[in-house]
Amino acid sequence: MLLDVRDLDVYYGAIHALQGISFHMEPGEIVTLIGANGAGKSTTLRTISGLIRPRRGTVTFKSQEISRTAAERIVRLGINHVPEGRKIFAPLTVLENLEMGAYTRDDPAEIRQSMERVFQTFPRLKERLTQLGGTLSGGEQQMLAIGRAMMAKPSLLLLDEPSMGLAPVVVEKIAEIIQEINATGTSILLVEQNAHMALTIAHRGYVMETGRIVLEGSADKLLHDPQVRQAYLGG
Q: Are 79 and 61 in contact (CB under 8 A)?
A: yes
CA angle 36, 41, 47 (to 5 degrees): 160
Provide the mask over 189-208, with x wherever binding to ligand ATP is found by CB under 6 A and - wherever it is not.
----x---------------
Tell me if 28 contacts ligand ATP by CB under 6 A: no
Figure out which of the listed residues 2, 5, 32, 35 binds ligand ATP, where binding follows CB under 6 A: 35
**Looking only at residues 57 through 96 of this chain, which bind ligand ATP when binding is defined by CB under 6 A?**
none
Selected range binding ligand ATP among 9-17, 61-69, 102-110, 133-141, rule: CB under 6 A: 9-17
Tell me if 39 contacts ligand ATP by CB under 6 A: yes
Contact partners, residue 224, CB within 8 Å, separation at least 6: none
Residue number, 125 or 171, with CB nearest to ligand ATP: 171
Tell me if 12 contacts ligand ATP by CB under 6 A: yes
* Least CB distance to ligand ATP at residue 94 (A): 27
Tell me if 41 contacts ligand ATP by CB under 6 A: yes
CA angle 48, 52, 56 (to 5 degrees): 80
Q: At what angle do helices 138-150 and 108-121 cross, to 10 degrees?
A: 150
* Least CB distance to ligand ATP at residue 229 (A): 20
Tell me if 42 contacts ligand ATP by CB under 6 A: yes
Rounded to the nearest 5°, which phi and psi values hold at 118? -60, -40
Residue number, 41 or 128, with CB nearest to ligand ATP: 41
R_g of the chain computed on alpha carbons: 17
Give me the half-sphere count of Cα atoms (radius 13 Å) on the Cβ side of residue 59: 25
List the strands of the sheet with 15-25, edge to edge: 15-25, 3-12, 56-61, 64-65
Residue number, 28 or 38, with CB nearest to ligand ATP: 38
Figure out which of the listed residues 20, 38, 57, 217 binds ligand ATP, where binding follows CB under 6 A: 38
Distance CA 230, CA 232 (A): 6
Residue number, 164 or 170, with CB nearest to ligand ATP: 164
Instruction: Provide the β-strand partners of residue 16.
Output: 11
* Least CB distance to ligand ATP at residue 135 (A): 26
Tell me if 14 contacts ligand ATP by CB under 6 A: no
Distance CA 132, CA 96 (A): 9
**Looking only at residues 154 through 193 of this chain, which bind ligand ATP when binding is defined by CB under 6 A?**
193
**Which residues contact ligand ATP by CB under 6 A?**
12, 15, 17, 35, 37-43, 193
